[in-house]
Amino acid sequence: EIEQQCLPNYYDDS
């Protein structure tokens, strides 16, 4: 299983 970045690291969560 490859390690992936998470999306909230890139986009603001509101």
Partner 1 sequence: MFEAKLDRGIVLKKILDAINQLVNEASWECTSSGMSLQAMDTSHVSLVAVNLNGDGFSKFRCDRNMVLGMNLVNLSKILKCAGNDDKVTIKAADGDDKIKLIFEAPNEYEVSQYEIKLMNLDAEYLGIPETSYNVTVKMPAAKFQRICRDLNQIGDAVTISCTKSGVDFSATGDLGNGSVSLSQNSSFDKPEDNVTISMQEPLSQTFALKYLNQFTKATPLCSQVTLSLSPDVPLVVEYKIIEENEEDSKNEIGHIRYYLAPKIDD
Q: Terminus-to-terminus CA distance in the chain, angstroms?
A: 30
- Write down the least CB distance from residue 11 to partner 1, Å: 4
- Write down the least CB distance from residue 9 to partner 1, Å: 7
For residues 1-14, which are near partner 1 according to CB under 8 A?
A: 1-14
- CA contacts within 13 A on the Cβ side of 5: 5
Question: Considering CB under 8 A, how many residues would be counted as binding partner 1?
Answer: 14
* Binding residues for partner 1 (CB under 8 A): 1-14
